[in-house]
Amino acid sequence: DIQMTQSPSSLSASVGARVTMTCRASQSIRDDLSWYQQKPGEAPKLLIYGASTLHSGVSSRFSGSGSGTEFALTISGLLPEDSATYYCQQSFTTQWTFGQGTKVEIK
């Protein structure tokens, strides 16, 4: 299976800040990568698919980039409601795998 490694495991930033988290695949997955946001006690929410395409209804403060093995999720203008854990997930192979998550806290 393809291993997905996210970093950092957690970060803390102030309201209004720009934060970036990364996701690395153990082999090339082209751009078959999605990002999800999960808040405590809730189901995940799709933010980005195809590594960089914003899902319908998702704030433009979120952006994704990368291809091959290196990917990034950036949140611009951090808001209190962005406090959550963010997961990357590859769909390049038929055996899907997730990263272990990056927890974003607001200072």
- The stretch among 10-18, 19-27, 73-81, 94-102 that binds other proteins (CB under 8 A) is 94-102
Site size toward other proteins, by CB under 8 A: 25
CB of 16 to other proteins, least distance (A): 29
CB of 91 to other proteins, least distance (A): 4
Distance CA 60, CA 54 (A): 8
Distance CA 46, CA 1 (A): 22
Distance CA 94, CA 90 (A): 9
Window 21 to 50, contacts with other proteins (CB under 8 A)? 30-32, 34, 36, 43-46, 49-50
3-class DSSP string for 42-54: CCCEEEEECCCEE
Does position 17 interact with other proteins (CB under 8 A)? The reply is no
Quick one: 51 or 78, whose CB is closer to other proteins?
51
Distance CA 62, CA 34 (A): 13
Does position 86 interact with other proteins (CB under 8 A)? The reply is no
